[in-house]
Chains A and B, each alone.
Chain A
Amino acid sequence: MNQDKFQSRIKYVQFVFFGVAIIIFAQLVRILITGSDLISPDTRFVTYNPERGEIYDRNGNLFAGNRVVYEISVNLTTVNAYQNQDQIIQILFNVIGKDYSSKFLEAQAYNAGQTDPAKKIYYLVLDDFIDPEKISYLEGYLEEYANKRLDKKVAKKLPELNLNGLEWWPHLVRTYPEFSLASNVIGFVAFKDRTAPTYFGIEEKYNQLLAGNSITIEVSDDPNKMNDLAEVPPGASMILTIDRQIQKSMEQILDRAVEHTGSVSGTIIVEDPETGEILAMATNPRMDLNQYSSELEKFPEMGSFNRAIGVPYEPGSVFKVITMAAALDAGVVTPSTTFTDTGIIYVGQTAIHNWDGGAWGIQDMQGCMQHSLNVCLAWIAQQMGSDLFYQSLDKFGIGRSTNIDLDGEIVYPLSIPGDKYWSESNLGTNSFGQGLATTPIQMITAVSAVANDGKIMAPHVVKATIQDGHVYEYTPQVMLTPIKAETAHTLTNMLANSLEEEASDALIDGYRVAGKTGTGEIAIPGEGYVTEKTNASFVGWGPTDDPKFLVYIWLEKPTSDRWGSIVAAPVFADVVKKLVVYMNIPPDEIRQGLYSK
């Protein structure tokens, strides 16, 4: 072998190896410094929202759940590379039925005006909340198209379908399978806003628990970095004290009552006085929670989404239950105390009359309650004195929040002696529920002391929370004890007798119930109290020997009749007829017979 020739060949080989080494080194430097599509892929930050917890009624029926919808988007870089924008628009028009060309034009116009590459749109969302059926149709369409092209003869006629850059991603949104049922209690998630703000009710009150903790992670497109996936717990689920069947039944009764009485609105609350559990909280109007954007206009006033907790009003004579309970408990009066009703009494500078303007003569305390005598109750308040009277109201929680676990409770402050707007006449008017304002939830909470041996249990709508696989059950709590058990039993008997002697429309066969009607006059700015507009109410409970339900009814501005005894008392009877069935409460005779066995 010619040595020179051999050496020059060796040099060539060395040169080639050296060149390759230089190229590899240069490529490594380029990758390290400038990054590469392959070795150093793009990363981005994605906020991950865990699945929102469900809301159930006390029997496990779903009130609020989640369903899958799809977002359709395009990666504009890819679409620009493949020049397939028109094909994507055409396919989506065929399948989804919408023309997205304007979206592309808008994005292109925006990008054309942007000099900063970081501010350009690369990921364009074309549409969101697409039903899974449409996506299935799209996937089926693409599969069918691909199958057709497997046949070479057909493939020549059919152009290749190029949808590179088109993406569709599933995500969950809130849904309410019961539509408007208990809508005032549940509240809603404005799911069409991707930040998903919550409004009212359980959804807002417990939003942090239901939503869980959002996590923002850096997402890499490098499969090598996909191993370390953090676990995200779902949001907590909630079981409510609401009974779906009772709630539905109450809403039906309320809707009928509002219609028949020509009322502006209405509320029915059903509570278990022994535990403070709210079994139903029906309001009228309500809204379909799935259509929140269009239905929300039904609630123009503040607090009107859930009138049971958000709209204070002058309750009228139902408030006499609290005044009488306080007076009996303090020993200011006994059931046999008599009062001679002359039809008028002056408290401060104000003359107080009875509802009918009449004088009812000598009455015992049951008579005062049975005939709902304002003059008598104002006299009782005078006998108590303002200090004791307002201390008693405080013990019942009047003028304070009940702290029910719902968002949007409103409290109207109670004027007490020493306040700017308090005068002595308030003592008289407050005794029969005028000159003060409470919400239905405050009233039912206060009166629950009479139905529950003198104890007020904290009202609540969440029975249990399920988080991380553990069930945390709510323990009923005594909130206040404003009166003695003996007082509660005495007043319950007085009120039951009152209904029976009046042959009230609130009575139902087989069950002894106690209750009180109320007709609150409405003060209109500039006009004062107008007699033709009233708030008709009823509060009642039963069975009287072992109360299992406590019901509060409010009909706002009824037009068929102004009196609570006419419009609200029959609603109570309708309510009890349903409750005893749904709550499995036998008629008194049968129940007592069963107990005696």
Chain B
Amino acid sequence: MAKSFKQAYKQAPWRLQVQRFGVIALALVGIAIIAFLYLNISAQSATAGIEVQKLEATRQAINNENASLLTEWADLTSAAEMEKRAYASGYELIDPNNATYVIVQGYTGRELPDVETAPYTKLSAPTVIKPSYTQSLWEWFYDSMIMGKNVLGVQP
């Protein structure tokens, strides 16, 4: 009797199939959500990475510019230039016998110059960003699938 009772309330096969499909669909949705979250965070991480790279490149460029400006300053104040400017301004070398000398109490002579040195540099050796990271999905699809280009290169 018990057996026939169960049989009497057995789910219809199509209902079971719907249930199975529902479970699979639920799992797939779950996977899709996880994949979405993963891709979203990866994309944000990549964006941050690119931003870091850009900032490091900017810092490196500023360091380079500082080095160049220091040299430019040295060019403008070189011994030859300063001598030219001194003579042009009417200066001449003093005769030590006609100079006035005074004792400056507490003066111990010139101290070491306070020179600027380059800061530490974060490595940002020439890394390049592939178009794959900057193209939209459509651009990538258009270039690689429709135009058939093997887009591996970079732009400055």
Residues of the A chain whose Cβ atoms lie less than 8 Å from the Cβ of B94: 581
| Per-position 1/0 for A1-44, Cβ under 8 A of B | 00100110010011001000000000000000000011001000
A585 touches B96 (CB 8 A): yes
**Which residues of B (19-77) have their CB < 8 Å from a CB of A?**
21, 24, 28, 42, 45-50, 52-53, 56, 61, 63-65, 67-68, 70-75, 77
Q: Which residue of A lies closest to B60 (CB)?
A: A170
Q: Which segment, of A224-232, A524-532, A554-562, faces chain B?
A: A224-232
A66 touches B78 (CB 8 A): no
B67 touches A65 (CB 8 A): yes
CA distance A46 to B117 in the complex (A): 24
A237 touches B117 (CB 8 A): yes
A329 at the binding interface (Cβ < 8 Å) = no
Q: How many A-B residue pairs have CB under 8 A?
A: 209
Q: Which residue of B lies closest to A217 (CB)?
A: B123
Q: Which segment, of A55-63, A293-301, A431-439, A448-456, faces chain B?
A: A55-63
Given the known inter-chain contacts A48-B125, A220-B127, A227-B52, please indicate yes or no for A61 contacting B120, CB distance below 8 A: no
CA distance A172 to B70 in the complex (A): 13
Given the known inter-chain contacts A46-B125, A54-B70, A469-B117, please indicate yes or no for A164 contacting B93, CB distance below 8 A: no
Residues of the B chain whose Cβ atoms lie less than 8 Å from the Cβ of A7: 14, 17
A223 touches B46 (CB 8 A): yes
B126 at the binding interface (Cβ < 8 Å) = yes
Q: Which residue of B lies closest to A229 (CB)?
A: B122
Q: Which residue of A lies closest to B42 (CB)?
A: A224
B90 at the binding interface (Cβ < 8 Å) = no
| Cβ of B50 to closest chain A Cβ, rounded Å | 4
A496 at the binding interface (Cβ < 8 Å) = no
B136 at the binding interface (Cβ < 8 Å) = no
B2 at the binding interface (Cβ < 8 Å) = no
Partner pick for B152 among A78, A229, A237, A590, CB 8 A cutoff: A78
| Per-position 1/0 for A63-103, Cβ under 8 A of B | 00111100000010111011000000000000000000000
CA distance A226 to B78 in the complex (A): 41
B149 at the binding interface (Cβ < 8 Å) = yes
Q: Which residue of B lies closest to A473 (CB)?
A: B112
A292 at the binding interface (Cβ < 8 Å) = no
A234 touches B120 (CB 8 A): yes
Partner pick for B67 among A66, A78, A244, CB 8 A cutoff: A66
* Interface pairs A-B: 5 shortest CB-CB: A78-B153, A60-B113, A223-B49, A62-B74, A177-B74
Known pairs A178-B74, A224-B42, A581-B94 / 13 extra A-B pairs, C-beta < 8 Å:
A10-B21, A62-B73, A75-B154, A78-B152, A172-B64, A179-B80, A219-B125, A219-B126, A223-B47, A227-B52, A239-B113, A248-B79, A597-B103
**Would you mind naming 21 contact pairs between A and B with Cβ atoms under 8 Å apart?**
A3-B14, A50-B118, A59-B110, A66-B68, A68-B68, A77-B152, A82-B153, A172-B64, A175-B71, A177-B74, A178-B74, A223-B48, A224-B49, A227-B52, A229-B52, A232-B120, A239-B115, A586-B99, A587-B97, A594-B101, A597-B103
